[in-house]
Structure 1
Amino acid sequence: MRGAFLAGAALTLAGCSPQVQDAFAREAARSVVTRVVVDRFPGLPVEPAIDCVIDNATAAQIRALAADAALGPTPATAEVVGQIITKPETLNCLGTRGLPVLLQQAG
């Protein structure tokens, strides 16, 4: 079933510009990253954390996450998100965008 979905999505996107394909993949990745962040990182402010993960993911990571969006997160999804979160640039993003939100929520 997942293969059929992915094949259909690939055919649909084949005629789209690279920018549209990227936007579609990022949105699909965002949906699965949301579930991983909420489940695995309960203290993080959700929206800033998701933005930091998506903004610092490689194209290959975005594609892998987008592929998991159809059926939901798997252990591999959580591993990819974990790899992205531990990147120095993602940690910097979380510190500058996520920490202020966390401090506002605590105050």
Structure 2
Amino acid sequence: MIKRIATLCVAGLFLAGCEPDGLADQLARDQAREAVRPVLAQRFPGVPLEPASDCVIDNASAAEILQLARASVTGLGPEDSQLVVEIATRPETVQCLLKDGLAPFLT
């Protein structure tokens, strides 16, 4: 638990000044995925979690990623779950899901 908090703190400190593909950005994205997966599993049963969580994270803003990364450490609240659903239902995310998330299962 302490390791996760330390990782999140480091990610938060450096995310603003890092390039989108930097180490801190990747750490925050990885933490955020941990918050996204259970919400997707509950709200969208049957959706392949790995590609779907990638689509959600790829279509989230930096502030949203930080909120979800924080929630993965402190626990998901209703507002965090709602944020995942909001991001998942954006047109860009739906397109990603159709292209990358569900396509392998439709062929």
Into which bin does the TM-score normalised by the smaller protein fall?
0.7 to 0.9
**Deviation of residue 6 (structure 1)?**
5.5
- Structure 1: state its 5+ residue gaps: none
CA offsets 1:2-61 (integer angstroms, 9 cap, x no match): xxx858842x44478722221111010011111111121112111111110011111111
> 34, 50, 54: which one pairs with 2:53?
50
Aligned-pair identity in percent equals 41
Which has the greater radius of gyration? Answer: 1
Cα distance in 2 for partners of 1:7, 1:100 equals: 37
Q: Which residue of 1 aligns with 2:93?
A: 90
SS at match of 1:70: helix
| Conservation of the 8 A alpha-carbon contact between 1:35 and 1:73 | no
TM, length-normalised to structure 2:
0.78
Number of residues paired by the alignment? 99
TM, length-normalised to structure 1:
0.78
- Structure 2: state its 5+ residue gaps: none
> 63, 67, 71: which one pairs with 2:66?
63
Runs of 4+ in 1 over 6 A off after TM superposition: none
**Deviation of residue 87 (structure 1)?**
1.0
Aligned-residue CA RMSD (Å): 2.4
